[in-house]
Structure 1
Amino acid sequence: MENIKLFESQKIRSSWNNEEEKWYFSIVDIIEILTDSPRPRKYWSALKTKLKNEGSELSHNLGQLKMKSDDGKFYVTDVADTEQLFRLIQSIPSPKAEPFKQWLAKTGYERIEESQDPEKSIDRAMENYLKLGYSTSWINQRLKSIEVRKELTDEWENRGVKKGQEFASLTDIITQAWSGNTVKQYKNLKGLKNENLRDNMTNLELILNMLAEATTTEISKENNPVTFAENKNIAKKGGEIAGNTRKQIEEQTGKKIVSPQNAKVLKEKNDRLKE
C-alpha cells in the first residue's frame, strides 16, 4: 500500500508491508529533506559508494519498490525500513537528524494505533490536510470521498476487476462521463502533473465525483457484472447520472463547475478568508 507521509510539510513516499508489518520509505525523498540537496539522487549514489567502501552492509540489505515519480510514472527506487533509516541517518550530517528520528519513531507507533483504531487514521488525515492549508469544509468532503472511493474499489475487486490498469480505465470512464474530461485532460486543466486530482478539486467537484462513484457502486451491486465490458458500461452509467446533475446545476447557476482551480488556488482563498 503506497502512501505519502509528511515531515514538516514535506512529502515522503512510503509503503506499508502488511506481512512484515513495517513501513518502507523512499531514501531519495529523505535525503532531499535532510540535506536540502538539489540533486538527492546523486547525493545518495555517492553515499552508497562511501558506505560500500567502508564495508557497511547497510547498502546491501536495502530493498527496492516501484513508487510514483514526479512525472506520474512508477519507477523502482531504493527504500529502507525504520531500523535501516536510523542507521543511515548517522551517515548524513544534518540539523534535521534528531527531529526526523523522532518523526520516524512516531510514524511506526501511529500505524500500530491505526490498525487497532481506524478512526485515528481519519483524524491524522484531517491533521495533515490542515497542515497543507485546506479548509475544514473541504477536508470533510475529501475524507468522505475517500470512503466512497473505497466502497467502489471493493465492489470492483468483488467483480474480478484487476487493480492497476483496469481500475484506472474504469476511473477514466466515470470521470469523463460526469465531467466531460478524461483524468489526463482534467489534470491538464488544473495544471497538475503527478499530484492527486481529488486533492485539487473544489467542494462541488468532489461532491459530483462522489455521486458518480457512489452511483456506479450501487448499479454494480444491482446488476452483478461478470465481464470487464459490463463493468465499463456500468461505470459510464454511474458517471452520466452525475454528469446530468452537473449540467442541471450549471444551467441554473450559469457557472461552469469543472474548474482550473487547484490546491494552490484553494489554499490561497482559504488564507484570505482567515485574514
Structure 2
Amino acid sequence: MSPEEFEFFNNKVRKIWIVQDEEWYFSIVDVCQLLTDSSDGRKYWNKLKQRLSAEGSELVTKCHQLKMKAADGKMRLTDCANTEQLFRIIQSIPSKKAEPFKMWLAKVGKERLDEMADPEKALDRGLSYYREKGYSDEWIKQRLQSKTIRDELTDEWKRVGIKDSKDYAVLTNILTAAWSGKTVQKYKQFKNIHKENLRDNMTNIELTLNQLAEVSATAISKAKNPADISESKQIASEGGNVAKTARKELEAKLGHSVISPLNASDPPSLEVKNNKN
C-alpha cells in the first residue's frame, strides 16, 4: 500500500510545495485532526509537541511555520512538516486511524533492509513499480539504459574530483538547459510535476536526447580531462549542445517541438513518437 492511497493525502490536509526545498509540506494540525478523535487538532498537536520535546526529539524544532489558508479564508502561519517529519509524527500518534500508516512504514522498512542485504530485490521492485504504473517493457528498458548512462557520467565527474551533490545538480542543470532550453526546475514546471523524477516523465524522444547529452558530456570530459568545476561546466554545456543540434534537426523535420508537457499521469502517451504539442 502506497501513501497516496491514504486519506490524508486528499483535500482534508492542507499542503504546499516549496520549490527551493523540492518538498511538500503538510499542515500538522490537519493531520492530527484527521487521525485522532480530538475535537481540536491544534490542542492535540500542542500536547504532542510537549511529549516529543520531553522525549528528547528534535523534530519539533525542525518543523516549519508556513502560511496556509485557514477556515476563515485568511492566510495564517501554521506548523508544517515534510513527508519524513510527518511520518515520524504519525508514529507518535496512538490512534486506530494512524495504525495503517504505521503498518505501511514497518513494511517499507523491512523491504529496505531486505534490499540492502540483497540489492537485486531493489531492482526487481523497481521494475515492478514501473509496470504497475503502466509503463511498457520497451520504455522501462530505455529508462534502465538511461540510468546506466547517467551513472557513467557521474562516475566521470567523480574521476575529475567533483563529489558534492550540489555540484552534480549544477552540472545537470547546465546540461539539461543546453539541450532542452529549460533548467530541471523549469522542465518540471512545464510538465506539471514536483518531486517526481524528470526522466520518468520524459517521452522516449526526450529520454533519448537526454541520453545523447549525457553520453556526449562523458566522452568530452574523458577527452579533455577538466581540471576544475568551471571546466566541467563548459563540458556539460558542450555535451548538451550536441543533443540540442540533434533536437533542432528532428524538430525541423517533424514541424513541431519535441519538448513535451506530457507526464507520467498517462505512461503510454510518453511513447508517442509524433505528437504535436
- Give how far 1:80 is off: 6.2
Cα distance between partner residues in 2 of 1:31 and 1:164: 34
2:99 pairs with 1:97: yes
- TM-score normalized by the length of structure 2: 0.67
Say if 1:199 and 1:57 are closer, same or farther in 2 by CA, change over 3 A. Answer: same
Query: 1:88-132: CA deviations, max 9, x gaps?
Result: 25x1331x624x444333322222232233222122122222333
Query: 1:137-159: CA deviations, max 9, x gaps?
Result: 32332233223223322322332
Q: Identify the residue that residue 10 of structure 1 maps to in structure 2.
A: 4
Q: Identify the residue that residue 21 of structure 1 maps to in structure 2.
A: none
1:1-275 maps to which residues of 2 (within 5 A)? Answer: 7-8=1-2, 10=4, 32=8, 37-39=12-14, 40-43=27-30, 44=32, 46-51=43-48, 60-61=56-57, 63=59, 77=82, 79=84, 88-89=92-93, 91-94=94-97, 97-98=99-100, 100-266=101-267
Cα distance between partner residues in 2 of 1:81 and 1:192: 21
Pairs aligned (count): 234
Provide structure 2 residue ranges, at least 5 long, that are not aligned to the other structure: 15-26, 33-41, 67-79, 272-277
Provide structure 1 residue ranges, at least 5 long, that are not aligned to the other structure: 1-6, 12-29, 70-74, 271-275
Equivalent position amino acid for 2:245 in 1? N
Q: Identify the residue that residue 18 of structure 2 maps to in structure 1.
A: none
Equivalent position amino acid for 1:166 in 2? D
Please say if residues 191 and 260 of structure 1, whose CA atoms lie closer than 8 Å, have aligned partners that are also in contact. Answer: yes
Percent identical among aligned pairs is 39
Report the 3-state secondary structure (helix = DSSP H, G, I; strand = E; otherwise coil) of the residue aligned with 1:113.
Answer: helix
Report the 3-state secondary structure (helix = DSSP H, G, I; strand = E; otherwise coil) of the residue aligned with 2:130.
Answer: helix
Report the 3-state secondary structure (helix = DSSP H, G, I; strand = E; otherwise coil) of the residue aligned with 1:264.
Answer: coil
Say if 1:81 and 1:155 are closer, same or farther in 2 by CA, change over 3 A. Answer: farther
Cα distance between partner residues in 1 of 2:215 and 2:7: 40
Equivalent position amino acid for 1:97 in 2? E
Equivalent position amino acid for 2:99 in 1? A
Please say if residues 28 and 86 of structure 2, whose CA atoms lie closer than 8 Å, have aligned partners that are also in contact. Answer: no
Report the 3-state secondary structure (helix = DSSP H, G, I; strand = E; otherwise coil) of the residue aligned with 1:156.
Answer: helix
Larger strand share, 1 or 2: 1
Equivalent position amino acid for 1:51 in 2? L
- Give how far 1:205 is off: 0.6
Cα distance between partner residues in 1 of 2:212 and 2:138: 17
Cα distance between partner residues in 1 of 2:218 and 2:43: 50
- TM-score normalized by the length of structure 1: 0.68
Report the 3-state secondary structure (helix = DSSP H, G, I; strand = E; otherwise coil) of the residue aligned with 2:265.
Answer: helix
Report the 3-state secondary structure (helix = DSSP H, G, I; strand = E; otherwise coil) of the residue aligned with 2:217.
Answer: helix
- Give how far 1:258 is off: 1.4
Say if 1:36 and 1:101 are closer, same or farther in 2 by CA, change over 3 A. Answer: farther
Query: 1:180-238: CA deviations, max 9, x gaps?
Result: 33334323332334443222210111111112112212222232211111101111121
What is the root-mean-square deviation in Å for CA atoms of aligned residues?
3.8
- Give how far 1:46 is off: 4.7
Equivalent position amino acid for 2:57 in 1? N
